[in-house]
Structure 1
Amino acid sequence: MPRLTRLTRLTPDTAVGASRDLLGELVSRHGQVGDMVATMAHSPAVLGGYLQLSRAMKRAKLNRKISERLSIAVQVQQGCGLCLEAHIAAARGLGVDDDEIARAREGTSADPAIAAAIDLGLRVYREPTSITDQQIAALREHGYSDREIADVVGIVALNLLTGAFNLVAGLTPDNAGKE
């Protein structure tokens, strides 16, 4: 039996204040919103911050195929099944093969440059103080710009927010879309 969510999903009719406005705008533009967004509406600060960071990361220079593999690696560590499923689906949609998805789940890649970016992201997630000057220099040798290295931090931050929120709210693949 699927676990029930811990926080309720809001709608533009049940949300109040700034959350009502944000949800109303999103629903009018997209027709509906996902469970995470609808649940985040309990806090207009969290919802607004998520929307701003999410929009900003869509402008990231880091290749999307790399960012999805990084997101998979982070979500395996964090344990958010809902996020993990979404990032695997997105990676497949971008043409990342199952072998590379399996490697991302293990925190690596067959491509040394991608493996280095994933390693940086996992260090940012687990222990940012462990990042060395040599690691950053190695990323540059693989062709990553300072902007792409900074994007790795942003991608990890976005994954930390979404995964942690879903885990606290009790949103899982089993109960998404069910109340």
Structure 2
Amino acid sequence: MSRLTQLTPATAVGTSRDLLSDLVSRHGRVGDMVSTMAHSPAVLGGYLQLSRSMKRAKLNRKISERISIAVQVQQGCGLCLDSHVDAARAAGIEEDEIGLARAGTSADPAIAAIIALGLRIYRDPQGITDEQILGLREHGYSDREIVDVVGIVALNILTGAFNLVAGLRPEPNPAS
């Protein structure tokens, strides 16, 4: 059960009402997280801006979804984890690689290295070493792709922490 109420364009006020109205007019509906974020126009607006910006990331989506999976396993947001696993499948990532991403790695050493960076950013950004960044460059990652990982992790921290605070959880699977 959610700890916070969900808002609609009719129940939200000010900027949140405007943001929700725009989203509903463009997409038909908004998810539980977005409708609950509307309690804070600053949080909702920040989430929307960062989310849109990260769609322009240079880092390959198949890699960013694996980083997101690894971070959400650590953070413990089931709603985000399910969403990123679904997105990984939609992007064509095989189940064995999804399983490895859950474990914070990949069979591909270059992808394993960038996932490791994402997890280090999440857990201990002060512990990132020059050697780790050099290793990423040796795997062919650009500075832009390395910086994109910071944005991916930041977006995951925001959404995961929000969902955990709000008490938002995945819907039970009736087939289970």
* TM norm. shorter chain > 0.5: yes
Runs of 5+ unmatched residues, structure 2: none
Aligned counterpart for 2:56 among listed residues 56, 59, 68: 59
Amino acid at match of 1:95: G
Partner in structure 2 of residue 160 of structure 1? 157
- What is the CA-CA distance between 1:174 and the residue it aligns to? 3.2
Amino acid at match of 1:48: G
Aligned counterpart for 1:79 among listed residues 72, 76, 80: 76
Partner in structure 2 of residue 68 of structure 1? 65
Alignment partner of 1:121 is 2:118: yes
Partner in structure 2 of residue 88 of structure 1? 85
Amino acid at match of 2:164: L
- What is the CA-CA distance between 1:12 and the residue it aligns to? 0.1
Q: What SS does structure 2 have at the residue aligned with 1:172?
A: coil
TM-score for both structures, normalised by structure 2: 0.97
Aligned counterpart for 1:145 among listed residues 133, 137, 142: 142
- Deviation string 1:140-179 (CA, Å, 9 cap, x unpaired) is 000000000000000000000000000000000037xxxx
Aligned partners of 1:151 and 1:52: how far apart in 2? 15
Aligned partners of 1:153 and 1:68: how far apart in 2? 13
Aligned counterpart for 1:10 among listed residues 7, 11, 35: 7
Question: What does 1:102-121 correspond to in 2, within 5 Å?
Answer: 102-121=99-118
Runs of 4+ in 1 over 3 A off after TM superposition: none
Alignment partner of 1:172 is 2:172: no
- Deviation string 1:2-27 (CA, Å, 9 cap, x unpaired) is xx100011000000010000000100
Amino acid at match of 1:123: R
Aligned partners of 2:92 and 2:60: how far apart in 1? 13
Aligned residues: 172
Aligned partners of 2:152 and 2:116: how far apart in 1? 13
Aligned partners of 2:38 and 2:168: how far apart in 1? 14
Runs of 5+ unmatched residues, structure 1: none
Aligned partners of 1:124 and 1:37: how far apart in 2? 25
TM-score for both structures, normalised by structure 1: 0.95
Alignment partner of 1:134 is 2:131: yes
Aligned partners of 1:26 and 1:89: how far apart in 2? 22
Aligned partners of 1:15 and 1:9: how far apart in 2? 9
CA-atom RMSD, angstroms?
Answer: 0.7
Fraction of identical pairs, as percent: 78
